Amino acid sequence: MTIGVKAERIMAYKDIVIYLDPSFDTDHRLKLAIAIAREHGARLVGVDATSQAAFDGEWRDRATGLQNQFEEAIRTGGIDGIFRSEVNSRNAHPHPDAHCADLIIAPQPLFEARDLVAKAIPQDVVLTAGVPVLILPHEWRYSSVGKKIVIAWNASREATRAVHDALPILRRADKVTVFTFSFKARPERNQERIIDHLRRHGVPATAYGWRSEEDISPIVALFSSLDTIEADLIVAGAYGQSPTLEKWLGGASHDLMESLSVPLLVSH
């Protein structure tokens, strides 16, 4: 066995957790999870994250049918999987399997869907799981993810963690762009350094710097850039400051999750 083959096996997700709920978004989330699990040769752990309220209304049939839906999906998808349904998935704490996963796939529940999913998802999971979380936007429909990736880079601890957590996906991408935002006239050196580091991992990334003297937020700039509009995945660090401060004083993580239009892989 060559070193290259060994490295490729190391750079793969082997246990993937997906949070399931009665919303129709789950159907598309499950399709993507199966595709990623198949590509990485991973086991898929389906966790019932349905809120208790969903069992009392019109969503009851879908809520009670999640296990059958999951088991049929992994059977037809030809992957190894297991379904979990425990009380812990319905309260404020993430499921124990979150700490034994290489990747978590979670929804961005908005509007009616917010009442169908445990309150811990996705924010508390991002903060406490210790593994990367792939968040799919509300009403996202199944398509390929990870072919054209934008890294939101600011040289922070969280961004560094996100980049390294995303390497199994980054190495399979067709195009990777490192996006930086600055009010300075000259490019940031840390952008050049992370690009060089990524190339050492077999990821031929390119730079895209947004430099502005105008009153514009990094998130607006991120979504306004051409590379991001074409991207099917954003990789970013999350919650460099507390979520409470982010919400009340404004912060990139809060703004990014609130305006999410493409899948987002985050690490804290």
| Any domain includes 143 | no
pTM of the entire structure? 0.88
Identify the domain containing residue 204 by its residue range.
148-267
The beta strands (E) that lie in the chain are given as 15-20, 43-48, 81-84, 103-107, 133-136, 148-152, 175-182, 206-211, 233-237, 264-267
Record the tokens describing residue 187, joined without a space: 């490019």
Asked whether residue 131 is assigned to any structural domain, the reply reads yes
Number of domains the chain contains: 2
Last residue of a domain, one of 94, 114, 136: 136
pLDDT tens digits, residue range 24-36? Answer: 999 999 999 999 9
Residue 120: predicted pLDDT: 84
Residues 183 and 253 in one domain: yes
Higher pLDDT, 223 or 9: 223
Whether residue 10 is predicted with pLDDT greater than 60 in this model: the reply is no
Alpha-carbon distances, residue 50 vs 60, 63, 100 (angstroms): 10, 7, 21
Phi-psi label, residue 130: left if phi above 0, alpha if psi -120 to 50, beta otherwise: left
Highest mean pLDDT among 111-115, 175-179, 240-244 belongs to: 175-179
CATH of the domain at 37: 3.40.50.620
Q: What pLDDT shows up at residue 227? A: 73
The answer, yes or no, to whether residue 92 has pLDDT greater than 60, is no
